[in-house]
Each structure stands twice: as structure tokens, then as C-alpha cells.
């Protein structure tokens, strides 16, 4: 739950972003409005003009997630930006933008490699090992 939502529910009086302490912390601010998030997007090479253009938040999400080339990277980045916010909010842990961008790239590559490996394994004829299991009563000693 963002600080804006927490304030609306009267759980806090502070609606400021936990990362930049400037903007009102909404999901949109966390993912694209926060200067720190914008820097992460730049480091990842995601088209910077889409961050600030008049594209609505939902359309912005859909335009990136629907893109085959960068959809995975974009989705992983959104997850990591939200995760970073939670680590700061609940554990007071901070993460530099360049480190976060590096982790996003690593995780994206891990997912891509797993997808390629899975695709390659489906191309091969699967082998099955069948072992018959039969219950045997316990042996009585004596």
C-alpha cells in the first residue's frame, strides 16, 4: 500500500515518496514519476520519452508490457522498483540506482535463459524412468 493510500485511510500523515521524499507516493510515482525510478529506466535503456509524455499510466504500462523486445525487462524493472520501495519502507534499506539496474538486467537474463532452456528441453524426446512401487508389510522379528 502506497503512502498516498495509507494517508487516505488515515494510517499515516505522510504521503511523501520513501525514495525521493518529494512526490506523493502513488504507484505511478513509484514506477515512473520518481526521479530515482526515471534514472533506473535510463540506465536500462528504456525509452525515456514515454516516461514524461502525456501517455496515461495504464497506457504506459500496456505499451511497454505489450512490446516483445522489452516487455520482460520492463516487467522485471517494475517489480524491482516496487520491491525497492518496500525494502526502504519496511526495513529502511536503500539501493543505488545503478545497482538496482544491474540486478534487473541479471534477473531478466536469468528468466530468458530459463525460457530458452525450457524451449530446448521440449525439442528433445523426453525420457521417462518408471519404477514400480509395491507396499510390503513390515517384517516381524522374533
Please give the span between the terminal C-alpha atoms of the chain, in angstroms, as a whole number: 66
Q: What pLDDT is stored for residue 119 in this prediction?
A: 66
Domain count for the chain: 1
- Domain contains 132: no
Instruction: Tell me the whole-structure pTM to 2 decimals.
Output: 0.78
- Domain contains 141: no
Which grid cell sits at 52?
Answer: 514524461
- Domain contains 25: yes
Distance of CA 10 to the CA centre of its chain: 28
Instruction: Kindly give the confidence (pLDDT) of every residue in the chain, 142 residues in length, as a single tens digit, with 9 standing for 90 and above.
Output: 999 999 999 999 999 999 999 889 999 999 999 999 999 999 999 866 656 667 888 888 888 888 777 889 999 999 999 999 999 999 999 999 999 999 999 999 999 999 888 666 655 655 667 777 777 777 877 6
- Domain contains 36: yes
- Domain contains 57: yes
- Domain contains 133: no
Q: Is 24 helix (H, G, I), strand (E, B) or coil?
A: strand
Calpha distance 62→67 (Å, rounded): 8
The residue range of the domain holding 8 is 3-123
- Domain contains 101: yes
Calpha distance 98→126 (Å, rounded): 42
Amino acid at each position: 500500500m502506497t503512502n498516498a493510500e495509507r494517508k487516505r485511510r488515515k494510517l499515516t500523515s505522510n504521503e511523501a515518496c520513501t525514495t525521493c521524499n518529494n512526490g506523493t507516493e502513488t504507484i505511478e510515482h513509484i514506477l515512473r514519476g520518481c526521479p530515482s525510478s526515471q534514472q533506473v529506466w535510463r540506465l536500462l535503456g528504456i525509452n525515456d520519452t514515454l516516461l514524461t509524455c502525456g501517455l496515461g499510466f495504464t497506457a504506459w504500462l500496456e505499451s511497454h508490457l505489450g512490446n516483445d523486445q522489452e516487455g520482460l525487462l520492463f516487467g522485471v524493472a517494475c517489480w524491482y522498483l516496487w520491491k525497492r520501495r518496500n525494502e526502504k519502507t519496511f526495513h529502511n534499506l536503500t539501493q543505488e540506482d545503478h545497482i538496482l539496474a544491474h540486478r534487473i538486467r541479471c534477473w531478466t537474463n536469468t528468466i530468458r535463459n530459463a525460457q530458452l532452456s525450457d524451449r530446448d528441453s521440449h525439442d528433445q524426446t523426453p525420457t521417462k524412468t518408471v519404477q514400480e512401487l509395491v507396499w510390503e508389510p513390515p517384517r516381524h522379528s522374533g
